[in-house]
Amino acid sequence: MRVVCIDDEQLALRYIERQLAKIAEVEVIGSFVNPLEGKEFILREKPDVVFLDIDMTPVNGMEIAEKILEKLPDVILVFVTAYEAYAVNAFELNATDYIVKPLKFERLELTVNRIKNQLQNQHKRIITYPQSLRIKMTPSLAFETEPDVFEPLPWRTAKTQELFIFLLQNHDVVIEKSAIIELLWDDYDLEKAYSLLYTTIYNIRKQIKPYQKHIMLHNHSYGYLLELTQVEIDYVEWSKAIGALPDLTADTVGDYERAMEMYDGTYLANYDYTWLEAERQRYERIWLQASNQIATFYYHNGKVNDAIRWYNYMIDHNPTIEDAHFELMKLHGENGNFAAMMQQYTALHKVWRNYYDAKPSDYIIEWYMEMMK
């Protein structure tokens, strides 16, 4: 087991070296008080394990860790901290990720033995990656684990999940670190916020490791970029399919209906992140515009029942769509089905009263009153 140690306190560094030397099969190939020099050595020599102090200057240990994992996703990191064990939760780490100063030989030996087992399992395991990765965004984020079977990832923390979804939604775009902090940790002081950012990025890297062929998280000097390779995201594929449709005709209306069947409900419906709303509304507009286009086509081509079917789809999807109610009222009126027209008008009144404590638009009320004459 090839090990590198980084700690900006010389005495602490020498102590952990001496303790590691007592353990069989451990070879310390480098020790550094300068974390930047240590990082460069690690990237060059590719050790099995790195023991890394969290609280260092001039660079936070978590920042060093996530930069190492970007280039060497298989390296095992163990954080060394002077914080009491209960306080390590502030770094959002798993228990196997850290040991607490002052180091006790028994705890260090236990950690090393766990790492030996982990390394042996890595060497035995043969990882086969699928040619492409499918991701669902409704109602929750889920990854395809076998054909047409999707499972959510067990995220370490809620912030880890939220940041990954944010980066995924904005994939192939560099997101500034300052923007992420403003989004997720605006109520923390900057030093704490950046520490949480680096820890969360570290957790993301560990979580997406099984998908490293398809999902790569790049660290730029001022931000992060999530790069996707051979990844199919259901909503992205659906919007592409809608955008690629030809003009709507009798020959292509079936293509429109099949494309609309790909829509699987509200985008990330199980999450209430405020920043999701704009993207959620964008997909809603695409769906509603296409639905209205199909319904209007059927109406103008004399297929009233199909038009009614699509206007009802729109109302089932979003009961507050006033124009869909109005079009149904007009269709029922033209067909002489005044009972259905009155029922639709009553339904619209009820929806607007319940949702907005208001009445429908004046032009609809005026139309209805004129029809009732």
- Has residue 170 got a pLDDT over 90? yes
User: Is 84 a residue whose pLDDT tops 90?
Assistant: no
Domain co-membership, 74 together with 181: no
Query: Is 124's pLDDT higher than 60?
Result: no
Asked if residue 141 is part of any domain, the answer here is yes
Query: Among residues 25, 63, 56, 49, which one has the least CA distance to residue 118?
Result: 49
User: What average pLDDT does the segment 206-223 reach?
Assistant: 91
Residue 127 has pLDDT above 80, yes or no: no
Show the tokens assigned to 245. 């449709």
Q: Is residue 261 part of a domain?
A: no
Q: Does a structural domain hold residue 161?
A: yes
Query: pLDDT tens across 271-310, in order?
Result: 999 999 999 999 999 999 999 999 999 999 999 999 999 9
Q: What is the rounded CA–CA span in Å between residue 291 and residue 98? A: 54
115 and 140 inside one domain: no
Is the pLDDT confidence value at 126 over 60?
Answer: no
Q: Give, rounded to a whole angstrom, the gap between the first and last alpha carbons of the chain.
A: 90
Burial category of 253 from C-beta neighbours within 10 Å (exposed 0-12, middle 13-18, buried 19 and up) = middle
Q: What is the mean pLDDT of the chain?
A: 92
- Going by DSSP bridges, is the β-strand pair 76-81/98-100 parallel, antiparallel, or unpaired? parallel
- Residue 340 pLDDT more than 90? yes
User: Are 32 and 95 within one domain?
Assistant: yes
The three-state secondary structure class of 185 is coil
- Structural domain count of the chain: 2
Indicate if the pLDDT at residue 86 is higher than 60. Answer: no
Whether residue 167 is contained in a domain is answered as yes
pLDDT in tens, 8-63: 999 999 999 999 999 999 999 999 999 999 999 999 999 999 999 988 888 888 88
CA 8 to chain centroid: 35
| From 94-98, 183-187, 218-222, 318-322, the region with the lowest mean pLDDT | 94-98
87 inside domain: yes
68/115 same-domain check: yes
| pLDDT confidence of residue 93 | 77
Claim to verify: residue 156 and residue 221 sit in the same structural domain: yes
Q: Are residues 171 and 213 in the same domain?
A: yes
320 part of a folded domain? no
Domain endpoint, select from 214, 229, 244: 229
pLDDT at 359 > cutoff 60: yes
Q: What is the CATH number of the domain that holds 76?
A: 3.40.50.2300
The whole model's pTM is what? 0.85
Give pLDDT, residue 134. Answer: 96
Give every CB contact of residue 51 below 8 A, 6+ residues apart in sequence.
3, 4, 5, 6, 7, 16, 20, 78, 80
pLDDT greater than 60 at residue 118? yes
229, 263, 284: which is the final residue of a domain? 229
Q: How confident is the model at residue 66 (pLDDT cuts 50, 70, 90)?
A: confident
Same domain? 63 vs 138: no
For residue 171, which phi and psi values (nearest 5 degrees)? Answer: -60, 155
The CATH number covering residue 153 comes to 1.10.10.10
Q: Pinpoint the alpha helices (H) of the chain.
A: 10-21, 35-45, 61-71, 105-124, 158-169, 177-184, 190-207, 234-243, 253-261, 277-300, 304-317, 322-334, 338-356, 362-372
Domain co-membership, 138 together with 120: no
Domain identity same for 116 and 186: no
- Give the model's confidence band at 83: pLDDT under 50 very low, under 70 low, under 90 confident, else very high: confident
| Of 246, 221, 130, 230, nearest in space to 171 by CA | 230
DSSP 209-229: GGGTTTEEEEE-SSEEEEEES
20 and 94: one domain?
A: yes
Among the three residues 229, 256, 283, which one is the final residue of a domain in this structure?
229
Q: Is residue 74 part of a domain?
A: yes
Average pLDDT of the segment spanning 138-147 = 93
What are the structure tokens assigned to 136, written together?
């669902």
**Residue 29 and residue 116 in one domain:** yes
Does residue 28 share a domain with residue 65? Answer: yes
**Residue 43 placed within a domain:** yes
β-bridge pairing 231-233 and 215-219: unpaired
**Structure confidence at residue 256 (pLDDT):** 97
- Assess contact for 180 and 224: CB atoms under 8 A: yes
> By residue range, what is the domain housing residue 188?
133-229
